[in-house]
Structure 1
C-alpha cells in the first residue's frame, strides 16, 4: 500500500466522516427548531377533565347562525366492531375517533391503535350564509344504536346526522362487515343545494391524522412512512419520505384513493366516485412517540340537486401484500419493492417463492435459509462462470506482470494494447468474471427492499433475534453524534465478519492487488454503518449468502484446476489467429486502442506549412 493509495483512502474516510457530521448537525438544528415550536405550544394552559366537562359557552350569534343547535351535544362514541377492528365513532364531527386492530400489538406489546382523539380530524368544509363551516367541529346525532359487534357473516351500520333544518341535513352512514379490514362510509347531503354558497362547486373533505410509533425503531418508521395516492389509470405514487412535503393532486385526472401509510400499517380512504383534485401534506414530528402528521384536503363535486351521495371506504390494516391485494384498487403498490427492475424480481419471483415456502409452516428463519439456498442454486451457473474467469486471470497474472515490467506504467495505451494481445492469444475475456456478477446483482439487491418491507417478519423471532423486522441490539449506548448510532447489532457484526472473510478469499481467487484489494475491505465496514439499523432478517440473509458462497467456492475449487487452465491457455496461444474467435469486448477495445494510437501519432507529427524548397 503506497503513499498515494493511503492518502486517497484517508481522504475518502475524512470526507465520509465530515459529510455525516455536517448532515447530522443540520438535521439536529431542524429538529431543535421544531422542538422549540412544540415547547412554545406546550406552554398553553393544560386542558383538564374539569375543563372538558364544564358547560360550553356559545355566543348567541353562533347559535342563531347555520347549524346553530349543532354546536353542542353528547360525545358518547358509537362503537362498530368485528373480528379485526374496533371502531369508535365520535358524534362530534361524526368522525372515526379511533381504530383498534385487535390482532396486533405494538413493539412494546400495547394495543395497536391506528390513531385516536383530537389528533384525528375528518369533516366537510364549505360556506353557508357567509360563514365558513367545518363539520368536524359540529355535533352529529346517531339515528339509532349500532350493534357493539358483528359476527363473520353479518354486517352492521349506523347513521349520524347533522341537521340544518327540517329536510335539510348531512348524513354520515357507516357500515362494517364481520370479516373485513374495511369500514364503508357514505356521505349524503339532503336539501343543502340552497344552503351551501351558490359560487361553491365543490365540497372540501378535510382529513388529518397524527400517527404514533408502533415499531421499535422510530427512524425506520420515519423512513417508510409517508402519504400515498392513486390517480385513475396511473401508477401509485407518494410524497417525499425523507423530508416534509406537500403536493397538489388531480390536475391530470381523478384521484381514486389516498393513504396515510406507516411502515407496517396503513389508513386508506377510497373514493368510489373519485376525488376531483386535492392537496396532500406530510410532516415529520419530533415529539417522543410521534412519527408523522398527515393532512389531506380533497375536493368532492357538489351538484345543485336535492340529494348528493359520496360512497367511500376506509381501509385500516396491515401492509401485508396478500391482504392489500385482496382489497383491490392496487393498494399493494404502497409496499416498496424497489426500483425497476428490482420490484419485478421481488413481486414475480421472490414473493411467490416465499409464499410457497410459508405454506410448510416453518419458522421464518428457516424459510429465509431455504430461500437463500434456492437463490444460490439458481445463480450457481453464473457463479461458476465468474469463478472460472477469475481463475484464468489469476493464471495470466505472472505474464501480465512481465509485460508491465517490460513496457512500464508511463505508457498506459501501449500497456493495454499488450494486455489485449495476451488476452487474444490466451482466449481470455477480462470481463468474463464481471458480467455474471452484474447479472446476479438485480436479484441480490432485490432482497435489500424485500426483507425490510416484509410484514410477515414483524415480531417473528429466530434464535436470539426477537423480531426479524428490526435490528437485534447486542449492546446499546448513548447516541454517537457523528455516526448517529446508539446500538450494535449482533447479526450485523456476523454479516460484516463473514463479508471480510469472503473478501479475503475472493482476493486470493482473483489475485486483486493495490487499491482494489483494500477497497474490498473498506466496503464491509461502510456497510456495517448502514445496515446496523436495518432488520436482522436482512442481515441474516446476507450472512447466509456469504456462508453459502464459501461452500460454492469450495466445491468449484475442487472442479477447477489451475494447472489445467494454464495448459489450456498455452494451447490457445498456439492456435492460428484465424481460428480464434474475438469477443465483442476485445473488438471494441482494439478499435479504441487503434484510435488512441492514431491520435497520438497525429499529435507528435511535426506541423508543416508552405511549399518545399
Structure 2
C-alpha cells in the first residue's frame, strides 16, 4: 500500500471519529430524548392500563348484569345469559407448546414454546393476554357484538383426549339460546406445533342480523422482543401472508403499514426472527385488512400486528370455518413437514430464488447431517466451510491461473501501450486482444469462477441470520452465534457501527485485508490506480456492515477468506511458477491460432459469397 492510500485511510478514520464526536448529542439533547422516550413509555403504559381497566369494567358489568337482568338484556341481548358463566383459564399443552385458553372470549390468551427461552433465560411467550385480541364481531339486534367480551362455556370440565389419536381437545361454546351457539374447538396433537381451530356457528340465523353476509374474525398481537440484538431482530420481524396457490409476501418491516387484500389468501403469519404464529385457512380467506406498527425503541414490544378477516356468512343453520394455528420455530425442516401445499417453510428467508437453491439443496442438508454427530455449531460451520471451499477449489485454481497468465503478459502489454499512442485507443485494444488470442489467454477467465462462487456467498449471507439452529449456541467468546459477539462495549454509539466491538467481524476484516494485499500483487493494469485504494477500503467497510450481524456469519466469512488465503499461497508457492507460465504462453504463440466454429462459419460464408460473385 502506497503512502497516498495510507494517508487516505487515516483521513477517513479521522473523519469518522470526528463525525461521531461532533454529532454526539449535547446534555440538553440527551435530556430531551430521554423525556420524549419517557413520554412514549408512559403513553404505552397508559394504553396497557386502559385495556386492563376495560377488562375490569367488563367484569364489573357482568357482575352488575347478574343483579339486573334488564341491563343485561339491553347490553348483551340474546347473549345476556353468558354473564352467569364463570371466567376460567384452560391449559392445552403437549411436550412442545403450552396454550392458555380463556373462557372470556373463548380465546387463545397466551402461547408458550416449552423448548425455548428468551435471550435472558425467561420463558418464551409468543404473545400474552393483555397484548392480544382474538374473536368474532357481528351485528345482533342492531348492536355490534364482540365475542372477546362474552364468556364461553367449557363443554369439558378438563381437557378431553381423543382415544383413537391421543389428541387433546377443548370445546368452548357461546350460547344465545337453546341450540343456538358459537363454538370454538381446539385440537392439539402430541409432539406437534400445529393446533386445529374450528369455528362453528349453529342455529344463529335469528340472532345474527339477517342482512349480514359475513362475520369478521379479528386477530391482533403485540410482538415482544426475544433476542439480544433489537435492531437486527426488528429487521426480521414482519407480517407475512401467502396467496392461494401463489407466492409469499410481507408488509414492510419498517414503519407503520396497512394493506387490504381482496384475493384469496392461504395463511397469515405474525413472524418474528426465529418464531411465528400462523393462522392457516382450510378454505382460503378473502377480504382481509392487515396492519403492522413499529413500537418505540424503549418499549419491550417490537411490532403490533393485526388482521381483520371477513368470513362468509350465509345464514344457514350450520356455518363452519375450519382453520389451523402454527405456533413454533422458523426451522426450515420443521415447517416443511406440515405440507408442500401450505409452504410454511417460506417463512425462513433463504434469499432470492436464484440463490435460495444453494441453501435448500446443499447447505441445509449438510448442516442437518452434521448436527446428528456434532454438538458444537462452531465446528459444524468450520466443516461446512471446508466442504464448500474444497468443492470450489478447482474454480479457485482456474481463477488464479487466469490472473497469473495476465500477470506474466503485462510487460508485453506495456510494450504495446508504449508503441501505440493513447489517441489510438482502438488500435491498442486490437493489438492487446491479438496478443491474448495468440497466447491462448482469456481476459475474462478469472471472472467466471467468481460468478459461480457468488451464489454461495449470497445464500450463506441469508442462511446464518435466519438459522434458528445457531440461536443461543455459543462458540469461543461468542455466546450466541445468531447475534453479534461483543468483546468490548464502547462508551458512545458510533454511527453505522454501534456501541460494541465484534471480534469475529475484526478477524473477518483483517483476513480480507490480507487477501486484498495478495490480489494487489497480481494486479496487471495501472490504468486505474484509484481502484487499489477502493479495494483496501472494502475491509474497513466490512467493519461497519457486519459489526451488528450474526457472529456465525462473520465467523464463516473469516474462515472462508482465511481458507482462500491459504489456497492462494499454496497455489503460488507449489503449483504455479511465473517462468513456467510464461514459457507455456510463448509455446502457445508458436501454435496456429485455432478458430472458433462461429468464426469459421463466417469465413466460409464470406468465401462462398465471393465465389458466387466471380461466377457472375
Q: Is 1:574 equivalent to 2:585 in the alignment?
A: no
User: Which residue, out of 303, 306, 321, partners 2:332?
Assistant: 321
**Counterpart position of 2:125:** 113
Q: Is 1:389 equivalent to 2:398 in the alignment?
A: no
Q: Distance in 2 between matches of 1:282 and 1:35?
A: 23
**Counterpart position of 1:331:** 344
Q: Is 1:470 equivalent to 2:462 in the alignment?
A: no
User: Which residue, out of 272, 285, 299, partners 2:295?
Assistant: 285
Q: Is 1:537 equivalent to 2:555 in the alignment?
A: no
**Counterpart position of 1:210:** 222
Change (3 A) 1:393 1:32: farther
Q: Is 1:296 equivalent to 2:314 in the alignment?
A: no
**Alpha-carbon deviations, 1:333-385, whole Å to 9, x = none?**
11011002111111112111222222223421111111111111111111111
**Counterpart position of 2:426:** 413
**Counterpart position of 1:126:** 138
Q: Distance in 1 between matches of 2:481 and 2:177?
A: 57
**Counterpart position of 1:485:** 498
**Alpha-carbon deviations, 1:490-543, whole Å to 9, x = none?**
111111111111111122134465122221111121122111111111111111
Q: CA deviation at 1:7?
A: 9.2
Q: Distance in 2 between matches of 1:87 and 1:41?
A: 26
Q: Distance in 1 between matches of 2:174 and 2:498?
A: 52
Q: Distance in 2 between matches of 1:517 and 1:380?
A: 26
**Counterpart position of 2:199:** 187
Change (3 A) 1:178 1:517: same
Q: Is 1:102 equivalent to 2:114 in the alignment?
A: yes
Per the alignment, in what secondary structure is the counterpart of residue 451 of structure 1? helix
Q: Is the 8 A contact 1:228 1:237 kept in 2?
A: yes
Per the alignment, in what secondary structure is the counterpart of residue 445 of structure 2? coil
Q: Distance in 1 between matches of 2:74 and 2:14?
A: 66
Q: Is 1:263 equivalent to 2:278 in the alignment?
A: no
Q: Is the 8 A contact 2:482 2:550 kept in 1?
A: yes
- With normalisation by structure 2, the TM-score equals 0.85
1:498-509 maps to which residues of 2 (within 5 A)?
498-509=511-522
Q: Is the 8 A contact 2:160 2:170 kept in 1?
A: no
Change (3 A) 1:148 1:201: closer
Q: Is the 8 A contact 1:145 1:158 kept in 2?
A: no
Q: Distance in 1 between matches of 2:315 and 2:94?
A: 38
**Counterpart position of 2:60:** 55
Q: Is the 8 A contact 2:161 2:169 kept in 1?
A: no
**Counterpart position of 2:543:** 528
**Alpha-carbon deviations, 1:417-459, whole Å to 9, x = none?**
3322322232211111111111111122211011111111111
Q: CA deviation at 1:78?
A: 0.9
1:70-85 maps to which residues of 2 (within 5 A)?
70=82, 73-85=85-97
Q: CA deviation at 1:73?
A: 4.8
Q: Distance in 2 between matches of 1:324 and 1:535?
A: 22
**Alpha-carbon deviations, 1:12-47, whole Å to 9, x = none?**
9999x99xx99x9xxxx9999898566445457957
Q: Distance in 2 between matches of 1:38 and 1:199?
A: 44
Q: Distance in 1 between matches of 2:462 and 2:391?
A: 20
Q: CA deviation at 1:10?
A: 8.4
Change (3 A) 1:454 1:118: same
Per the alignment, in what secondary structure is the counterpart of residue 337 of structure 2? helix
**Counterpart position of 2:283:** 273
RMSD: 3.5
Q: CA deviation at 1:268?
A: 0.8
Change (3 A) 1:35 1:407: farther
Q: Distance in 1 between matches of 2:243 and 2:534?
A: 45
Q: Distance in 2 between matches of 1:223 and 1:238?
A: 12
Q: Is the 8 A contact 1:63 1:69 kept in 2?
A: no
**Counterpart position of 2:453:** 440
Q: Distance in 2 between matches of 1:543 and 1:411?
A: 45
**Counterpart position of 1:554:** 569
User: Which residue, out of 487, 493, 496, partners 2:509?
Assistant: 496
Q: CA deviation at 1:178?
A: 2.3
Greater Cα offset, 396-405 or 37-46: 37-46
Greater Cα offset, 552-561 or 147-156: 147-156
Q: CA deviation at 1:255?
A: 1.8
Greater Cα offset, 529-538 or 70-79: 70-79
Unaligned runs of 5+ in 1: 588-613
Q: Is the 8 A contact 2:135 2:147 kept in 1?
A: yes
Change (3 A) 1:52 1:200: closer
Q: CA deviation at 1:296?
A: 0.7
Per the alignment, in what secondary structure is the counterpart of residue 324 of structure 2? strand
**Alpha-carbon deviations, 1:185-225, whole Å to 9, x = none?**
11111111222222221111110001101111111211111
Change (3 A) 1:85 1:149: farther
Q: Distance in 1 between matches of 2:290 and 2:37?
A: 21
Q: Distance in 1 between matches of 2:310 and 2:186?
A: 20
- With normalisation by structure 1, the TM-score equals 0.85
Greater Cα offset, 274-283 or 478-487: 478-487
